[in-house]
Amino acid sequence: MDDATLKSCREFVSLLASAAPAPGGGGAAALAGAIGTALGNMVGTLTVGKKKYADVEEEIRALMARCDHLQVRLLDQVKADAEGFLPLAKAYSIPKDDPSRAQVLEQATLAACRAPLDIIDLCRDSLEAIAVLAEKGSRLAVSDAGCAAVLVKGALQAACLNVFINTKSLQNRTLAQELNEKCLDVLGRCGALADQIFDTVKAGLLPGGES
């Protein structure tokens, strides 16, 4: 399986638009999450070393190291999502009268959930870091912190949809409900956090707001 993240931006977008089974929504979510996390990381880079922010430098550097890790993990999920989806696509081609079809589909469906679930966890951690960077990072880069939150929220939402489309067809409805509830919990909490970051940044940039 080729790593789509090694392609140019134009190649990746063209591949997304093609009939190729992967990358798809999960891979796009992972990439968007990585880009958003990198923007948050940039806020940190523009903050450290400045006398004005000396009292938070240690905290900002720790957040940057955390974002470095999250960026790499999110990019890894582009390939992981493709590897998780292709067996499912293949399983759907099994003849309906094949007695093994149901079990193979169930296992492949669960496997296809793994990368989106990982993306959700990574986006949660990213938004928690971005929230601090937006609050304590350089005011000259505060718009980038807001952009970071928007992108990571979109990645989180997209990853949740990629879980939901798979849990919908699971035969194990108890497990399906557990996975759905986990996604909805993170989506509710972290979606609200992302909205708060965006609204605060927006308010500060508009006339009458604090810069």
Specify the pTM: 0.94
Cα(184)–Cα(193) distance, integer angstroms: 14
Asked if 60 and 87 count as a contact pair (C-beta separation under 8 A), the reply is: no
Exposed (0-12), middle (13-18) or buried (19+): which is 35, by Cβ within 10 Å? middle
Number of Cβ within 10 Å of residue 185's Cβ equals 12
Kindly report, residue by residue over 13-68, the tens digit of the pLDDT.
999 999 998 899 999 999 999 999 999 999 999 999 999 999 999 999 999 999 99
Which H, E and C letters describe 110-145, residue by residue? HHHHHHHHHHHHHHHHHHHHHHHHHHHCCHHHHHHH
Asked if 138 and 47 count as a contact pair (C-beta separation under 8 A), the reply is: yes
Tens of each residue's pLDDT in the chain, 211 residues: 678 888 999 999 999 999 998 899 999 999 999 999 999 999 999 999 999 999 999 999 999 999 999 999 999 999 999 999 999 999 999 999 999 999 999 999 999 999 999 999 999 999 999 999 999 999 999 999 999 999 999 999 999 999 999 999 999 999 999 999 999 999 999 999 999 999 999 999 999 766 4
The CATH number of 10-204 is which of 3.10.20.30, 1.20.120.680, 3.40.640.10, 3.40.140.10?
A: 1.20.120.680
Query: Could you tell me the residue ranges of all domains in the chain?
Result: 10-204
Number of Cβ within 10 Å of residue 61's Cβ equals 15
Residue 168 φ then ψ, to 5°: -60, -30
Number of Cβ within 10 Å of residue 38's Cβ equals 20
pLDDT, the chain, mean: 95
